[in-house]
C-alpha cells in the first residue's frame, strides 16, 4: 500500500487497513465517456451505488503525476470538466504521465495497475477492451487483455465492448489463461445487449461463489485477474440488430476519418450514441451501475 507515487484517500486507506470492502472505479469513463456535467453526475452516482451495497468506492486517476486512489467530489468534477484534455492512460503511458506530472484518466489496464498497488481486488467498469475488428490486419489489441493475464485484480463488466471482435477476444483471453465468468448466465453478454453468439467459461450464480474462486486462485498463487461478465438488465438491453447496425456504420465512419489507436474506442462509442439517439449512452450508464452493485457484493463477500 505504501508507494512513493501513490495517494490513497483517507476513507479508502482506513477501509483497506480494517479489511473492509473496497471497489476500484476507472476515470476514462469520466473524461472520455460522456459530456459534462453528465459524466460527473454519473461518476458520483456509481460511487453511491457502491456505498449503498456496503463497500467503499475508490475512483482512480492520475492528477499532476500523483496516482490517486479515491477522488474527492472536486477531483471528479475537475476530471469531468477537463474531459479530453486529460490523457487517456494505459500501461505504456503510465511512467511518462507520472514523470511529466500531468493529468491522466485511467483505462481498465492502468486502473488495474493502481488498484493492485493499493491492494484492491475488485474493480467495476463498463466493458473491457479487446481485439478490435480487423485486427488480423491492424494488430489492434487492447492492453487490457495482457493486464488481466498478469495483474491480480478482478474486473466486473458487462462483457467485452461490442464494438470489438468478441470471438477473437475470448480466444486471446483463453490463450493467456484469463477465465471469463458469466454472472447468472452461460452466454457472454455483449455490453449494450444481454445476447451474443458466444459462451463464457463458467457460470456462477452468487457473489459468494465468485469470491470463493477469487480466494482459491489467491491461495493457489495464480497470477492475473478474472473477467466477471454481468449482463445489463433486460429492460435496458438494446436489440442486437439495432446496436450491430449502428456499430457497422460507426466503424465505416471511423475508417473514413482515419481514426486509429487509443482514439478509436471513444470515437466509436460517441458515434454509436449519436446513431442510436442517445439510447446506447443510457444503456452504458445503466450497465455501469449494475456492475458497481455486483462488485460491491463480491467485495463484501471477500
Q: pLDDT tier at 264 (50, 70, 90 boundaries)? A: confident
Quickly list DSSP for 243-283. HHHHHHHHHHHHHHHT--GGGHHHHHHHHHHHHTTTHHHHH
**pLDDT per residue over 67-120, tens digit each?**
999 999 999 999 999 999 999 999 999 999 999 999 999 999 999 999 999 999
CATH of the domain at 68: 3.40.1790.10
Judge whether 106 lies within some domain: yes
Exposed / middle / buried, residue 162 (Cβ in 10 Å: 0-12, 13-18, 19+): buried
Mean pLDDT confidence for 276-294: 92
Using an 8 Å Cβ cutoff, are 87 and 93 in contact?
yes
What is the helix (H) or strand (E) element at residue 293, kind and residue range? helix 279-301
Judge whether 207 lies within some domain: yes
Judge whether 1 lies within some domain: no
**pLDDT per residue over 42-68, tens digit each?**
999 999 999 999 999 999 999 999 999
Judge whether 227 lies within some domain: yes
Lookup: cell for 168: 477473437
Residue among 68, 88, 121, 161 flagged as catalytic: 161
Catalytic (active site) residue 121: no
Please report the pLDDT score of residue 1 as a whole number. 58
Catalytic (active site) residue 20: no
Judge whether 163 lies within some domain: yes
How many domains does the chain fold into?
1
Residue among 26, 47, 121, 262 flagged as catalytic: 26
Judge whether 283 lies within some domain: yes
Domain that residue 164 falls in: 6-301
Quickly list DSSP for 182-219. EET-SBPPBTTBS--S-B-SEEE-SHHHHHHHHHHHHH
CA-to-CA dists, residue 146 to 48, 156, 170, 245, angstroms: 30, 16, 13, 30
Query: Where is average pLDDT lowest: 98-112, 158-172, 173-187, 205-219?
Result: 158-172
Predicted TM-score of the model (pTM): 0.93
Amino acid at each position: 500500500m505504501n508507494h512513493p507515487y501513490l495517494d490513497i484517500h483517507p476513507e479508502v486507506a482506513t477501509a483497506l487497513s480494517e479489511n473492509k470492502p473496497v471497489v476500484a472505479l476507472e476515470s476514462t469513463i469520466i473524461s472520455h465517456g460522456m459530456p459534462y456535467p453528465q459524466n460527473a453526475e454519473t461518476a458520483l452516482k456509481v460511487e453511491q451505488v457502491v456505498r449503498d451495497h456496503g463497500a467503499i468506492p475508490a475512483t482512480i486517476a492520475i492528477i499532476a503525476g500523483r496516482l490517486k486512489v479515491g477522488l474527492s467530489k472536486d477531483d471528479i468534477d475537475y476530471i469531468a470538466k477537463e474531459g479530453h484534455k486529460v490523457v487517456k492512460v494505459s500501461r505504456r503511458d503510465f511512467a511518462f504521465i507520472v514523470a511529466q506530472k500531468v493529468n491522466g484518466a485511467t483505462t481498465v489496464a492502468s486502473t488495474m495497475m493502481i488498484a493492485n498497488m493499493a491492494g484492491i481486488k475488485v474493480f467495476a467498469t463498463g466493458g473491457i477492451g479487446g481485439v478490435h475488428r480487423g485486427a488480423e490486419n491492424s494488430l489492434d489489441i487492447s492492453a487490457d487483455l495482457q493486464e488481466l493475464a498478469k495483474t491480480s485484480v478482478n474486473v466486473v463488466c458487462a462483457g467485452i465492448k461490442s464494438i470489438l471482435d468478441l470471438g477473437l477476444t475470448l480466444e486471446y483471453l483463453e490463450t493467456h489463461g484469463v477465465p471469463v465468468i458469466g454472472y447468472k448466465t452461460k452466454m457472454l453478454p455483449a455490453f449494450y445487449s444481454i445476447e451474443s453468439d458466444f459462451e463464457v467459461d463458467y457460470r456462477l450464480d452468487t457473489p459468494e461463489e465468485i469470491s470463493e474462486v477469487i480466494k482459491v486462485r489467491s491461495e493457489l498463487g495464480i497470477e492475473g485477474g478474472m473477467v466477471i461478465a454481468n449482463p445489463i438488465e433486460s429492460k435496458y438491453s438494446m436489440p442486437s440488430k439495432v446496436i450491430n447496425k449502428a456499430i457497422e456504420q460507426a466503424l465505416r465512419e471511423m475508417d473514413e476519418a482515419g481514426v486509429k489507436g487509443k482514439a478509436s474506442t471513444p470515437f466509436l462509442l460517441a458515434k454509436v450514441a449519436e446513431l442510436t439517439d442517445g439510447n446506447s449512452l443510457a444503456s452504458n450508464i445503466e450497465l455501469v451501475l449494475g456492475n458497481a452493485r455486483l462488485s460491491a457484493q463480491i467485495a463484501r463477500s471477500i
